[in-house]
Amino acid sequence: MLRAIPSIFSLMSLRLLKLRSDILKIGELEFDDDMVMSNMMGPNALRILEEMIRDLDLKKGMRILDLGCGKGLTSIYLARKYDVIVYAVDLWISATENYERFKEQGLEEMIIPIHAEAHDLPFADNFFDAIVAVDSYQYYGHEAEYLDKHLAPLLKKGGKIFVGIPGLKMEFDDGIPTVMEPYYKLEYNFHTCTWWKELWGKSNLVEDVRCCELDCHKRAWDEWLSCDNEHAKGDIPMMKADAGRYYNTVSFSAVRKNKRSEVRSQQ
Ligand SMILES: C[S@@+](CC[C@H](N)C(=O)[O-])C[C@H]1O[C@@H](n2cnc3c(N)ncnc32)[C@H](O)[C@@H]1O
């Protein structure tokens, strides 16, 4: 019996250790590691979101659009951390699949899953307090007209929009570097901060455009490459070839103009 006591203790401490390692901490929030790893669709969206909206002042009950939310990890983060109402919009993942996930998290009253295309969003103008898009804007937002035609009108005056996506340290103006040729495709639409800032600078509806490289780049990619997803495994040779030379993670943001600054910019 006495000999059994240490083994019970060691089993308990092993269990505690396991519990601890099963938790992924993102800022002050704790997530089930398996839940995050099995729902990732690219570099860890939670890391990108946490860093890119550090200065965004979200208040309980605000309406947030999470565009291209994939399996909704970022929507879960927003609802849990800020007590906001999230409209979780995606094209490849069905609303029903995401609804099941939000129910499992007990967040179905706070996150509204919607299946929609980014050029045909089913919302009223001036509806959202903020818009976020993690690892999705490069698929639909690279044409200059997109922002003013399809997205910025949905934002309230003074509301903020934040995008975080894979990017480049330098434009591939002289062609794709030889080592990246087997992996990089033009339709990826990876660009530098300067490129995105210039694109959004053409907007008549937003102002105060900012862009920066995110510090979480390596960690977000390492976490993605370590998960058991066939696309992640496919990305390993690409990131090995990159070896930290070309890719980064860029984040850009802007504020919806109020009426007076809209009028000024049209004159
Ligand atoms: C690489 S996944 C990232 C998903 C999620 N944001 C994340 O980081 O885990 C890109 C997402 O963009 C969405 N997407 C791509 N093109 C879209 C479009 N035209 N309209 C709406 N969503 C789009 C896809 O449905 C997909 O879920």
Note whether residue 37 is domain-resident: yes
For the Cβ of 9 lying below 6 angstroms from any atom of ligand 1, the answer is no
**Would you state the structure tokens that stand for residue 251, as one six-digit string?**
């984040």
- Which residue's C-alpha comes closest to atom 26 of ligand 1? 70
pLDDT at 14: 41
For the Cβ of 225 lying below 6 angstroms from any atom of ligand 1, the answer is no
pTM over 0.85: yes
Q: At what angle do helices 95-104 and 73-82 cross, to 10 degrees?
A: 40
The CATH number of residue 231's host domain is 3.40.50.150
233 CB burial (10 A radius; 0-12, 13-18, 19+): exposed
pLDDT at 265: 56
Counted domains in the chain: 1
189 CB burial (10 A radius; 0-12, 13-18, 19+): middle
Note whether residue 12 is domain-resident: no
For the Cβ of 136 lying below 6 angstroms from any atom of ligand 1, the answer is yes
pLDDT at 13: 46
In which domain, by residue range, is 223 found? Answer: 27-256
Low-confidence stretches of the chain (pLDDT beneath 50): 1-20
pLDDT at 261: 62
**Short-list 190, 94, 181, CA closest to 138:** 190
Note whether residue 38 is domain-resident: yes
pLDDT at 267: 53
State the closest ligand 1 atom to the C-alpha of 140, by its place in the atom list counted from 1: 19
Note whether residue 15 is domain-resident: no
Note whether residue 4 is domain-resident: no
Note whether residue 98 is domain-resident: yes
For the Cβ of 93 lying below 6 angstroms from any atom of ligand 1, the answer is yes
Note whether residue 17 is domain-resident: no
